[in-house]
Amino acid sequence: MNHLLFERSTGNIRPNVFARLQTTQFLTSFQAAPSVRFDGGERGTVVQDGQAGPSAIDGEKRAIWAHQSGINALAVERFDGRLMLSGGSDASLKIWNLDSCANPLNGHTYKPIARIARGDKGHKFGITNLSFYPFDSAAFLSASFDHTLKLWSTETATISGSFNLGSKIYTHAISPIAEHLLVACGTQYPTVRLVDLRSGSSVQSLVGHNGAVLATAWSPRHEHALATGSVDGTVRIWDVRRSGTSIGMLDQEDSLGIYRNGLLGSDGKIRARVSAKAHSGPVNGLTWTDDGNFIISAAQDRRIRVWDAATGANTLASFGPSIKNGQLASVTMFTSPVGLTHPTKEVLFWPNETEILVLDLHDGGVITRLRNTGPVMAGVRSGSGAERTVKNRVTALTWRGAGGGGESSGVVMGGNNMAGAIFSAHLDGHIRAWVPQLDGLDDEAEADETAKIAEGRSKKRKVLNDVFQSLMGKKITFT
């Protein structure tokens, strides 16, 4: 660190290069922050080895949960990263104020600032997906197995609108840049449903998949471009202004991008593949890099693929056999914002069952593994006496950008106010925090420990000196 500071001060390293070197280091140095906890107010007993006892998850004597029934979804708002949403398997919703933690190194227990329970005013079945309104954190969206997509007021935690799509909703997405305010919903039926928040109706259905749609993602560059993934193993690219079929499909056999999606042929018509497979299993994960240059897809064939968004070419990034993906549900993954690393050195964060993998996006190598705290298997006995066994599986990931900016902007930093932290939701009902480890923190801790030792030695010297002075100053008379 001191060497880099010297190189920057002498002009050998430009400030932007220095910043990228530091942020790259932060992106690869995340560690668990077990002293940061989320208490949703539910109480129960942790059961291990078939016996109930005082033992609790994360080393605390008192067991607490964010959602005792388990968590399905997380979302952090993009503006200043102050608010986080969590959705439970019991259909409950909770809002958390992340600014209430002054310093994660000192530990903190979050408590929700708003709760929405299961019932007539909320969802009736488990939450599947959450997202904040992209242009204003005063509203958020939630999707559920109860067939409804709901729009909420963040300030009052009340419903502003509800849309019944008549089928289970696995995922939804709203464009971060578009003015059309269309929400793309993936359901148990092959069609992709588009809900217009302005008109309050389902305005369009995109037909082409042959199975349930598990993943949807809007392009961060083109406001009308949408990518969707299905259980049929296909990934389709749509232009929502066109009422026909998709404008392109991703083909795992095409590594050159010869058959360009949306390219006009000599006859003036758009050339599009009639059939192609992106994966040999259900596609349940999709995301774009922030600059819109690459699409990342994941499926139950235990493969993650990176695609050139301009040509549809498979970049052949190999992520190896360590990838685990066995759940028929939408998988949340995200990439580091463009600008934090050198070009083509972006990082992918992937929920790998009971751990989080930090991967090199373009060569697929594992940079580091973030291991969960707590047992892999745990039993929970609620106050009513009901007992259930749960897995400590990661169900959702979200990232709070430093100094605001959410998942798509900001410079990753560690330290105060949970800036640059990753939050993971787990099937065991916990939300866990991960923060980057800074070089200066270890030096500071070591300096504090040295200061304490020096202070203790100084006190001992003072006591001995006082004793010596009292003995030397006392008049001794011999008789």
Of 24-33, 47-56, 332-341, which range is least confident? 47-56
Cβ–Cβ under 8 Å, residues 431 and 395? no
| Residue 11 pLDDT grade (very low, low, confident, very high; cuts 50, 70, 90) | low
Cβ–Cβ under 8 Å, residues 317 and 332? no
Whether residue 412 has pLDDT greater than 50: no
pLDDT of amino acid 350: 96
Q: Whole-prediction pTM value?
A: 0.81
- Regarding predicted confidence, which is higher, 237 or 134? 237
Whether residue 349 has pLDDT greater than 60: yes
For residue 461, the surrounding DSSP H or E stretch is helix 439-473
pLDDT of amino acid 445: 46
Of 85-94, 174-183, 258-267, 380-389, which range is least confident? 258-267
Q: Cα–Cα distance between 66 and 73 in angstroms, integer?
A: 12
Q: Which residues is 434 bridged to in the sheet?
A: 32, 422
Whether residue 37 has pLDDT greater than 50: yes
pLDDT of amino acid 266: 46
Q: Cα–Cα distance between 375 and 77 in angstroms, integer?
A: 30
pLDDT of amino acid 467: 65
Q: Cα–Cα distance between 363 and 315 in angstroms, integer?
A: 9
Relative orientation angle of helices 2-9 and 15-27, to the nearest 10 degrees: 160
Other Cβ atoms less than 10 A from the Cβ of 365: the count is 13
Q: Average model confidence (pLDDT) for the chain?
A: 81
pLDDT of amino acid 221: 92
| Residue 220 pLDDT grade (very low, low, confident, very high; cuts 50, 70, 90) | very high
Cβ–Cβ under 8 Å, residues 395 and 71? yes
- One-letter-per-residue 3-state SS of 96-138: EEHHHCCCHHHCEEECCCEEECCCCCCCCCCEEEEEECCCCCC
Side-chain-facing half-sphere of 289: CA atoms under 13 Å: 25
- Regarding predicted confidence, which is higher, 385 or 206? 206
220-237 as b/e: b if 16+ CB within 10 A: beebebbbbbbbbbbbbb
Nearest alpha-carbon partner for 96 in 87, 83, 108, 109 = 83
Convert the pLDDT of each residue in 81-115 to its tens digit.
Answer: 899 999 999 999 999 999 887 776 678 999 999 99
pLDDT of amino acid 416: 47
Q: List all residues 6 or more positions away from 60 whose beta carbon is below 8 Å from its beta carbon.
A: 37
Pick the CATH number of 2-131+154-159+199-450 from 2.130.10.10, 3.40.50.970, 3.30.470.20, 3.40.50.300: 2.130.10.10
Whether residue 244 has pLDDT greater than 90: no
Q: List all residues 6 or more positions away from 460 whose beta carbon is below 8 Å from its beta carbon.
A: none
Question: Residue 278 carries which DSSP code?
Answer: S
Q: Cα–Cα distance between 160 and 142 in angstroms, integer?
A: 12
Read off the pLDDT of each residue in 177-202 and give the average, rounded to a whole number: 90
pLDDT of amino acid 200: 79
| % of the chain surpassing 70 pLDDT | 72
Whether residue 48 has pLDDT greater than 60: no
| Residue 403 pLDDT grade (very low, low, confident, very high; cuts 50, 70, 90) | very low
pLDDT of amino acid 343: 78
Helix, strand or coil for residue 405? coil
Whether residue 411 has pLDDT greater than 70: no
Cβ–Cβ under 8 Å, residues 203 and 255? no
**Tokens coding 294:** 């690459």
Whether residue 392 has pLDDT greater than 50: yes
pLDDT of amino acid 203: 74
Whether residue 234 has pLDDT greater than 80: yes
Helix, strand or coil for residue 375? coil
pLDDT of amino acid 409: 43
How far separated are the first and last CA of the chain, in Å rounded? 70
pLDDT of amino acid 294: 95
Q: Cα–Cα distance between 441 and 25 in angstroms, integer?
A: 14
Of 125-139, 332-346, 445-459, which range is least confident? 445-459
Whether residue 405 has pLDDT greater than 80: no
pLDDT of amino acid 46: 67
pLDDT of amino acid 449: 47
pLDDT of amino acid 169: 96
DSSP codes joined into one string, 263-297 = EE-TTSPEE--SS--S-SS-EEEEEE-TTSSEEEE
